[in-house]
Homo-oligomer: A and B are copies of this chain.
Amino acid sequence: MDGRLVIIGGGAAGMSAASAARRVDADLEVVVLEASGYAAYGMCGIPYYLAGLVERAEDLLAYPPGYFRERRGIDLRLHAEATGLDPAARIVHYVQDGRAARLSYDRLIVAAGGAPTVPPIPGLGDPHVFTVRALEDAMALRGLLDAGRVGRALVVGAGYIGLEMAEALAARGVSVVVAELLPRVMPNLDEPVAALVEEEVRRHGIDLRLGSGLTEVRRRGGTLEAVIDGEGAPVDLVVVAAGVRAATTIAAGAGAATGPGGALLVDDRMRTSLPDVFAAGDCIAPHHLVLGGPAFVPLGPAANKTGRVAGTVAAGGDATFRGIVGTAVVKVFDLGVGRTGLTLAEAEAAGLAAVATDVVGKSRAKYYPGSAPVHVRLVHEPGGRLLGAQMVGRDGVAKRIDVAATALQAGFDVDDVAALDLSYAPPYAPVYEPILLAAQAAARHREPAAPLARGGRL
């Protein structure tokens, strides 16, 4: 293809798209408009940078500054924020360093990513209120921590990002309050599994307030004050981690079709409903293999993969994206927490006949040092198709969830999972893998289960 490919967004999806397009067509002009001062940084690494486990913000960059322009011939424009799109005229409007500009395109990829959900609460404009998605914000926050100016912090939201932030702040000696509107943590887990995470968070001294709303942030004299459930308390900073929405204002405003979560709908080649406009990354709702339809699950691996597909196809090559199964892991203090496919709640919401089977296995041979319980929940049709899995444990959880993710892509029944020939050695696994134990129990589980008591042992 001759001409110019413009990419809105220089995150994981946008830079994967740019690189893929360049590989397909060395002569294509590739322009990336990135609103922040950094491209292709590891957003997921921000909590570890704040905690001090990662020393410098630059360590989170996938490539050194200058790499894309110098080594790949990509016209990466930083501090360039797209503001409008005219799909009929094939023009993108943007503002760079305070000046409005426009750029025509032959093909466009929208990879604008996700934007933090900011609740409509007075006072969130205070400079000590952060949403932690941009590297610049993380650097400012780290500066406050390094200067010893944060004794007490409020985190709004007890989803995985909120809990990662709470852990990072606690690691710096900060006294942390987490306020969550829902009566439980981690809404992307089933409640009995989330209860194990809640216990871990409390065990580490986090002041976790469930069913609690922040109603205002205000200044009293020089002191910042957060009002939770009508009561004001001084805090040195507030981190808002109340969820992420797809950043689709520009594309949707230009008429691109949207789906779940307001995210852009795309086909398996990442084409939106607008001609010659593709989309990738956290702003799309890609195909979910278990649901059989689009889903909004903004996560890094799919951002990279969909970016690559969008860039390849936009540049005239051929590639397809098969879909996601919604696999995610997170470290919450000493716990590894993994999920893939659908939770029981998600399966029920989708109208599927689903049950959950819970077992507790061991991470290693019972006699081997370091062996720890692994809690496994399998969500499945009664005695039939695997729909999802959740795992929680102090040892060896993260990569175990990938077996279930692979089984989901294969469309396995629970007895296919029970038949798996999985690895065994005392330092790494018991002879009966927890997931195999769970699958054996699931294969016998043909009736809807009685609900587990909240906080009960799985």
CA–CA, A368 and B419, complex, Å: 35
Answer yes or no: A322 CB below 8 A from chain B CBs: yes
Contacts from A to B (Cβ < 8 Å): 12, 42, 44-45, 48, 53-54, 59-60, 289, 299-302, 304-305, 321-331, 336, 338, 340, 365, 367-369, 396, 398-403, 405-407, 409-410, 412, 416, 419-429, 431-433
B residues less than 8 Å from A324 (CB atoms)? 421
A329 contact from B340, B401, B428, B432, Cβ within 8 A? B428
Which residue from chain B places its CB closest to the CB of A408 in the assembled complex?
B421
CA–CA, A289 and B427, complex, Å: 26
B53 with A369: CB separation less than 8 A: yes
B301 with A431: CB separation less than 8 A: yes
B residues less than 8 Å from A423 (CB atoms)? 327-329, 338, 340, 398-399, 401-402, 405
B405 with A428: CB separation less than 8 A: no
B residues less than 8 Å from A54 (CB atoms)? 367-368
Check A329/B429 contact, CB under 8 A, given A400-B399, A421-B340, A422-B405: yes
Which residue from chain B places its CB closest to the CB of A338 in the assembled complex?
B423
Check A59/B367 contact, CB under 8 A, given A329-B424, A340-B423, A398-B428: yes
CA–CA, A45 and B42, complex, Å: 41
CA–CA, A433 and B402, complex, Å: 11
User: Measured between C-beta atoms, what is the minimum distance from A133 to chain B in Å?
Assistant: 15
A424 with B45: CB separation less than 8 A: no
B residues less than 8 Å from A60 (CB atoms)? 367
Which residue from chain B places its CB closest to the CB of A164 in the assembled complex?
B425
User: Measured between C-beta atoms, what is the minimum distance from A38 to chain B in Å?
Assistant: 14
User: Measured between C-beta atoms, what is the minimum distance from A106 to chain B in Å?
Assistant: 27
What are 27 A-B contacts with C-beta separation under 8 Å?
Answer: A44-B424, A44-B426, A44-B431, A45-B367, A54-B367, A54-B368, A304-B431, A322-B419, A323-B421, A324-B421, A326-B421, A331-B428, A338-B423, A396-B398, A396-B399, A398-B425, A399-B399, A399-B400, A400-B402, A401-B423, A405-B421, A405-B423, A407-B410, A409-B410, A409-B419, A409-B420, A410-B410
